[in-house]
Structure 1
Amino acid sequence: MVLLRLFSFLLGHVSLVVRGEFLEKFVNLAASRGIYLWDITRIDKDKVRVKVRIADVRPLRHIARATQSSFKVRERRGMPFMINRLKKRKLLALGGISFLVTLYILSSFVWFIGVTGNDKLSDEEIKNAAAQAGLRRGVAKWNLEPKEIEKSIREQLPSVAWAGVYIKGTHVVIEIAERKLVQEEPHKGPAHLVASKAGLIKEVLVLNGQAKVKEGDTVLPGSILISGEILEEVKPEPFNQPLPAGQEPPEPQYISRFVQAKGIVRARVWYEGYGECPLSETVEKLTGNQKTSHRIKFKGKEIIISGPKTSPYQHFEVKETVKSLPKWRNYEIPVEVTTVHYLEKVVTRLQHGLTGAKQIAEEKAMAEVSAKLPKDAKIVERRSEVVNTGQQENLVRVKVFVETIEDIGVIKPLKLTEEAKG
């Protein structure tokens, strides 16, 4: 029923007032000949109002004569009549079309950006992170990739655990969930100070506890540097009488007192990094120039609405996004809107030479070492050497060795027995 009325609007329909003595015969005869009448309303004993499509008006004349009836057109509705009226008022039609086109164009861009779910992070920080992926006011919606924007926000803001980007008309909502950073309370009970890494002891400063290493000792990860167990001698009660001949004094007795070891233990620590670089290589780089093509695919046929059919660049990268029309009443419309971006690239052949390749490889090796160094580490020596594989190849391999002095002590809680606790 709804589809029939929709087609009637598209094709045009009229409202008729039918007069006659045999109105039931008029309606039945029209139905038997496949003429669809709707909204049938009786006005008087000999008059009814009906609606019928334009194409069926002429056949109704024959039925009216056969039933001794007559009708008059009271109202005209539908697309054809609207077009005829607009033809007489071309400026109004042009203005309406221009308004619709302008409204469609404006609705295809993002004008409002909202942020929800943030607590510690400001709206501006999140919007700036999203702008790095192309989300800003005035950008076309077809150029947005929500997944890329979400990834950009998570990468640039480590405190963001999850991000979601939703496009609602001209409004984009960024929803985030921040990480709940749980701060561990410092250990307050008895503990050792142990080595976090291997090294050669350079300096030991005990603030609490008992030193277990000295300068020049080599330690491994987990070795006790300062013990949280302090042995204290138990002094015997005074004995005024001399010991019998041949009897030795009793051996000293010790008791354990447990504390939290504190101090600074600096050690010499060595690191190694590796890097390589070819003597010559081909590098591809995006220039920033791009051409965009918008296409519609329907039942295997592709229609280019705008933009080039193929890439205008010699070297290029293609990014393609495909969007399907939403389902209508569980019916999937076989239409896809495709946006193809042709990104121009320049291909350059770089000749580093032996010296340049060695420098780049050394920088890569040093970057690998720097990622392992703690903030308080003091570099005292650095040297590099070229790795010779004995084969002639278009590659320079470099190893970097770095010596630092750093505090290697970390707290390790003591597990005491019930007897020791008592």
Structure 2
Amino acid sequence: MFEWLRTFWYGRILFLARGEQLARFVNLVSKDGVILYHTQRSEHGMRAQIKLADFRRLRRSARLTHTRIHIVAKYGWPFVAARWWRRKGLLIGIIIIASVLTFLSQLVLSISVLGNKNLMTAEVLERAEKLGLKTYVHSKDLDLNGIAKALQEQLPDAAWIGIERHGTNIEIRVSEKIRPTIPEEAGNLVASRAGIVKEIMVIEGTPQIHEGETVRAGQVLISSPPANYSQSAQDKSKPTPPAAVARGFVRARVWYSAEAQVPLVEDKMEESGKIAVGRGIKFGSRVIMLTAQNSPFDQSCKEEIIQSAKLWRNWRFPVEGIKVNHIELRNVHIERSVAEARKLAEQAARLEVQKKITQGVPIVEEIVRVLPGNSGSERVRVEVETYEDLAVYANP
């Protein structure tokens, strides 16, 4: 490979020599220290290749032997550079376009919000902008995980928020909290989940429960107040004003639990930490890999990353870059002690419980129970008690 690069860098000329004294011509050229490559005899004379720097040194030998030299082809970087130098304007334009595209590909050019129904897209974008996520900022300087967590804390109606980067586009994926669907109770405050009521604060409406009562999910906590308007027959042409809605807080003790089981002996596949990176170009559905087309590992998984530039609205640059990470996998035999398996099961159960709890809700008490499991494994249950507001509006 290095020989090919050296040949391309210095350049070569393929020429045809004609004359009656070709053997003497070759001898004189050799005495002058000129090396001929791929020499071939043909009906028209002799074909050979020579370095670009040695081509002028053929004049003396050609003159003494009355040999005519005709250039057949030119190959190498010097000729490519000369050709492009004659087209300096086109070359400068390509460099400018490539520089602009490289610069734009590192910026955030568009932000989209997906998965929201009740949350307003404008509100999500406004809060994200205050956290630093906005257009025309360097995408690599953004802590997308930190912004997603902060955004979830600021939007109480969002159960989960994830932010993904696809080239120059940032996608904010929102998963909203599921509210009980009770059409006939629109405007009432109902319980989002089961719990024991500890505190009631009614701002507007009529309480339907009392402190110390156990409520179930969907149960009416505060009913909406009666409409305080009267409409006579003469006013029937006027639009009906909106019905009043209940307002208030109902704080209660709520319990969450989750179980996890971890074996003492386990065979599994895990990443070794070695990664082979392949890069290529994508034209529509066609992919041309430039490096590492196939995985060099016996066992591996593949991760593809598309790098595209979105220049204006929905118009994308037709050529996209593709990065393929070949991640090596290896078989691992794990033997755990009872304490280690129990600790891992506890961590897994605790992580599962935290997924169920609304972000920012304080935890009052946590209980870890070791349950009887199958032989060769440890089973753990984590029970968590929280103190949170249960009152949410029923979906119309």
TM-score w.r.t. length of structure 1: 0.43
TM-score w.r.t. length of structure 2: 0.45
* Bigger CA radius of gyration: 1
